[in-house]
């Protein structure tokens, strides 16, 4: 098999001349499973909180984008340098500060019973006291998404308080009500902006990425039939790209690590943005 790569793949990849000119949003993040609670307990009265009005995903994305731009505009006031990379602006704690919320970390926020399931509380927001609490007994990527989720509540559901984000201790996920789904979508759009993620993807893989003889060898240094065996579906390819630290002789920080989200979350977002194609 001819292993000579297409010149586009082997050519050097230029960074954008101005990496600070845009601020967009982010996509989906997934919880990592099974957390213990050695501390205290949270009782749930299971008030099924229903939002007074539903927000479209388009409007949620627009509000997340507006918040990003506000953080970018105030970045030096928030302790960032003038030339900070845009990814470093995607921090929920900065958003909390800008919105006037006290942001605190706690070893645990306890657990609660939801039907037959037991869930640990990953985050709490108290709108009346302008406070957001995040549990540290979770993977840092989960903590980060949880914090962005609570910021979503602050912006989308200002008239509701006592909202929390939980994690199933049995590893089983259930559908969330509309209020929680909206906060999850906000977190998604805040942490993985389409334009910024697309540019970071292209800087690594030229993208969009389609698996063929050349790209297979550039990714895994193996012939296409071996790569297809190892990565049989588009999701497998997306996961590999999400966590990849090497492509076509070049080493880099993975997309998952750069954006501080799980490999699964990044993989889903890459598919969503059509950066991984059949």
> What is residue 137's predicted lDDT score, i.e. its pLDDT?
86
Q: Give the residue from 195, 198, 250, 199 showing the smallest Cα distance to 16.
A: 199
| Residues in contact with 124: Cβ distance below 8 Å, sequence separation at least 6, in sequence order | 109, 132, 133, 150, 162, 163, 164
Given a cut of 50, whether residue 94 has pLDDT beyond it is yes
Can you give the pLDDT at residue 36? 34
- How many C-beta neighbours within 10 Å does residue 102 have? 12
Return the pLDDT at 224: 96
pLDDT tens across 119-175, in order? 788 899 999 999 999 999 888 988 898 999 999 999 999 988 776 676 644 333 444
| 263-274 average pLDDT score | 90
pLDDT in tens, 172-218: 344 468 888 899 889 989 999 999 999 999 999 998 999 999 999 99
Query: What CATH code would you report for 57-191?
Result: 1.10.10
Its pTM stands at: 0.74
Residue 65 and residue 24 in contact, taking contact as beta carbons nearer than 8 Å: yes
Per-residue pLDDT for 99 more than 70? Answer: yes
Place of tokens 């999701």: 235
Give one DSSP letter per residue of 215-241, joined into a string: HHHHHHSS-HHHHHHHS-SHHHHHHHH
pLDDT at 38: 31
Q: Are 252 and 245 in contact (CB under 8 A)?
A: yes
pLDDT of residue 165: 74
Nearest to 273, CA basis, from 240, 231, 238, 248: 238
Name the more confident of 106 and 33: 106
- Distance CA(278)–CA(272), nearest Å, equals 13
Q: What is the dihedral of CA 253, 254, 257, 263, to 10 degrees?
A: -170
Higher per-residue confidence, 231 vs 22: 231
Which pLDDT band, with edges at 50, 70 and 90, does 12 fall under? very low
Task: Choose between 52 and 104: higher pLDDT.
Answer: 104
Q: Where in the chain is the domain with CATH 1.10.10?
A: 57-191
pLDDT digits (tens, 9 = 90+) for 20-57: 333 333 333 323 333 333 323 333 333 333 335 789 99
């Amino acid at each position: 098999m001819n292993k000579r790569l297409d010149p586009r793949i082997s050519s050097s990849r230029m960074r954008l001349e101005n990496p600070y000119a845009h601020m967009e949003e982010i996509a989906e993040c997934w919880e990592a499973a099974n957390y213990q609670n050695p501390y205290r307990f949270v009782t749930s009265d299971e008030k099924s909180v229903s939002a007074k009005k539903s927000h479209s995903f388009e409007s949620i994305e627009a509000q997340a984008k507006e918040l990003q731009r506000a953080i970018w505009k105030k970045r030096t006031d928030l302790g960032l340098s003038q030339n900070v990379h845009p990814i470093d602006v995607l921090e929920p704690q900065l958003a909390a500060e800008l919105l006037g919320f006290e942001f605190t970390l706690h070893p645990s926020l306890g657990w609660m019973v939801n039907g037959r399931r037991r869930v640990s509380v990953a985050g709490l927001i108290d709108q009346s006291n302008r406070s957001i609490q995040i549990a540290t007994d979770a993977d840092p990527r989960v903590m980060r998404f949880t914090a962005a989720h609570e910021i979503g509540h602050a912006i989308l559901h200002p008239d509701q308080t006592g909202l929390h984000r939980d994690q199933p201790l049995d590893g089983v996920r259930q559908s969330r009500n509309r209020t929680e789904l909206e906060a999850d979508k906000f977190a998604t759009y805040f942490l993985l902006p389409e334009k910024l993620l697309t540019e970071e993807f292209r800087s690594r893989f030229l993208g969009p990425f389609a698996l063929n003889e050349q790209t297979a060898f550039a990714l895994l240094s193996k012939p296409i039939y071996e790569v297809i065996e190892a990565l049989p579906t588009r999701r497998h390819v997306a996961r590999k790209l999400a966590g990849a630290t090497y492509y076509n002789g070049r080493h880099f920080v993975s997309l998952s690590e750069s954006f501080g989200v799980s490999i699964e979350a990044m993989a889903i977002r890459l598919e969503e943005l059509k950066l991984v194609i059949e």
